[in-house]
Amino acid sequence: MGLRFTKMHGIGNDFIILDGFRHPIADPQALARRLCARRFGVGADGLILALPSDRADARMRIFNGDGSEPEMCGNGIRCLGRFLADEGLCRKNPMTIETGAGILTLALEGGSAPRVTVDMGAPRFAPEEIPVAADSNRVALEAGGRKLDFFCVSMGNPHAVTFDLYPEDAEFLRLGALLERHPAFPRRTNVEFCRMSPDGGIDVRVWERGDGPTLACGTGACAALAAAASMGLCSRQAAVRLPGGVLEIGWAGDGHLFMTGPAETVYTGEIDAE
């Protein structure tokens, strides 16, 4: 019997979503490594399980292409919200989803280009919460012969944001790999290379922990806005431009960050479960 899946993406950050309400999923780490392989599997940045929750309307587990399990994924949770609605697994709007970073609230918009707004919670700057092995969330790190200043922040998962460099491809790949596993980050980190644009927006290239270069990262976009606004580089609302598209990020007066962007189904299919 084949394993039914839905392929979705949020501005190019793509996911395979499985219905864990109806079908138990054994060994999701190994399944993620197999299904996410772009030449030998379905191909995706991550595997998402839609699961029941006794604390929220649903629970999300997400696995990177290397089988590791991050706490949260901003583009992934938007896709999961749309999947739950389309499959009739949750008929509430707004809905709540339990994640490794806590319970988040999503509001779905309709239309030909459906968008989802997620209350991403408040960014955390304490070094022990990120975590970063330093006395402050502002650190200067050396990697590959470069010394860069980073603003570190947790969006439920760790991020290191720099405005010192917006690298070309070869340097991006080299530095991203080194910084993800830098000794300053005991649980590894996502890395955002950023630059401000004249209109007040933020251009971001993301190296994702466990995946490497991706076209977009929702938590990374939130981290970039939190860093830029804290550093006085922009206001508390900005368009964050990633290689796959644009996310609208706002930092509300209650301290919560709100992310708005699309969630689109690419196709559905079946693959051998073994």
**Active-site residue numbers?**
73, 217
Cα angle 179-183-184, degrees, rounded to a multiple of 5: 80
Residue type, 240: V
Extract the tokens encoding 102.
């806590």
Cβ neighbours of residue 201 closer than 8 Å, sequence gap 6 or more: 234, 238, 239, 240, 241
Residue 43 CA to residue 65 CA, distance in Å, equals 9
Q: Report how far apart the first and last C-alpha atoms of the chain are (Å, whole number).
A: 10
The pairing of strands 158-162 and 190-196 is parallel
Residue 94 CA to residue 148 CA, distance in Å, equals 40
Helix, strand, coil percentages for the chain (3-state, nearest 5):
15, 40, 40
41 in helix, strand or coil? Answer: coil
Cβ atoms of 157 and 72 within 8 Å: the answer is yes
**Residue 83 CA: distances (Å) to CA of 7, 204, 217, 235:** 10, 27, 19, 33
Measured in degrees and rounded to the nearest 5, phi and psi for residue 8 equal: -135, 165
Extract the tokens encoding 70.
């991050």
